[in-house]
Chains A and B, each alone.
Chain A
């Protein structure tokens, strides 16, 4: 009966032998090291970047010093952040559409094996063809700029959600499916009470991948569209800055895109943790 966690109760002080104390110290060091090490390395990298610029007298339009990049990021904040907003809008919208499309199609697939057999190859074709190669076609057929970019980002982002959710919906414990049948559950009940919750860890795994891909899809689409001078997202800022040899702004835009990707990943990981932490193996505490 003692298997239930009781986080509210403080543990009494434990008398530790030498081995356990050593283990505990190692554990503590590892915990600090996990966030301290990357920070130290990052700081060192930025510092040596700065030194290399100074020692070699590299001109600003080739490699700007980190301080200059930071300055540009602050000075051009209005321009850069409004561009970021454009890119972010495409990313989030396409991710939302990818969730609807991917999950919807996956549910359809599990309802009928025939539909899955007929449609899955098309989804794979869409996935394996490089988006840059498809874009000129989209450019011809679709007029609206936003729709163009959305479609592009969606094609890249929806596949991991579709394939992961399909896998999840089909990986339900056979005995539980029998149990539902035994209790006269309808198709809808089995889907809602059993298949969808069981697919949740798989879906969330796909969502994490799709989040990054949606950003990549949006940026790539802007790049291709940007060459025609029609876009105002971050990618077009990068192209523009490249033409003008404005390296500091190029770096600033790049950093902004990276940070956006990290924020998206962290947000989706956090959602995943919130949903799964009580029951799924993948979200178990590490020290256990």
Chain B
């Protein structure tokens, strides 16, 4: 397990204004440490997804710097999981997981052991030949996670991946994701609008406020891993959820002036 003290990614005063004039992000500062499970929590319209897209390099910031620390970032180093499973509907589970490797020139056969391993980790062994239509929502999401992890990325960016799933499936996937994360030790940035999910999963929660999107506060979840079902029902979990909820309510009610003062002092 990494110590989670070395900065891995630093966002310095990131701003994003769209051509329509809407400011999605305003001076966002964020430090993600190596091995962190960091949740970005906030109401809709607070720019969580925009921030994630900027980190992924899918969108460029209007101002500010995305500063990656440590060894130079390779293309393999970023895994991305979308809100929808976003699979190729005509391709089998195997071929869907093969896709990122295929785009890097790895043959179907060469990729075999890697694909088998990652499918086993997400409990999809035996479903290699199924096409997405034949799978349940949770299983599709597992394929999507397997595809995100098959290149062994150093950071996994997840954009509300479980938002569309029922609660039971979501709990299972939360547990499995934590297992994978503790085992492999990658860094996660997890966008969510669920307080409960963010507390259960992360060691740090960054709460964002909307219009314009910016960082409001951070909650540290100082509970050791592995976390399991007993953590979900513990008073500690309830207390942390209440605390995070209060911060979130603060973020929702905060006016722009409050934010200015809270984030930057009175200058």
Contact = CB atoms under 8 A, between A and B. Distances in A.
Interface of A: 1, 3-5, 173, 175-176, 178-185, 189, 193-194, 197, 200, 278-280
B132 interface: yes
Contacts of A280: 89-90
Contact of A184 (B56, B103, B131): B103
Contacts of A194: 88
A200 B131 CA distance: 16
B100 A183 contact: yes
A182 B136 contact: no
Interface residues of B, number: 27
Nearest to B53: A178
Contacts of A193: 88, 99, 102-103
Interface in B76-108: 78, 80, 82, 84, 86, 88-91, 99-100, 102-104
Contacts of B102: 193
Interface in B188-226: none
Contact of B80 (A173, A182, A189, A200): A182
A197 B88 CA distance: 9
Nearest to B144: A179
A146 B90 CA distance: 39
Most chain A CB atoms below 10 A, which of B90, B132, B135: B90
A197 B92 CA distance: 13
A145 B49 CA distance: 62
The 6 closest A-B pairs by CB, nearest first: A175-B86, A279-B90, A183-B103, A279-B89, A175-B82, A185-B103
A176 B134 contact: no
7 contacts: A4-B134, A175-B84, A181-B58, A182-B58, A184-B103, A185-B103, A279-B133
A179 B133 CA distance: 20
Nearest to A186: B103
A279 B91 CA distance: 8
Contact of A197 (B58, B75, B80, B90): B90
A3 B134 CA distance: 6
A176 B86 contact: yes
B130 A4 contact: yes
Contacts of A176: 86, 88
Given A4-B130, A5-B134, A278-B131, A178 B89 contact: no
Given A193-B102, A197-B88, 6 more contacts: A3-B134, A183-B75, A184-B75, A189-B103, A279-B89, A280-B89
B112 interface: no
Nearest to A2: B136
A182 B90 contact: no
B127 interface: yes
B57 interface: yes
Contacts of B57: 182
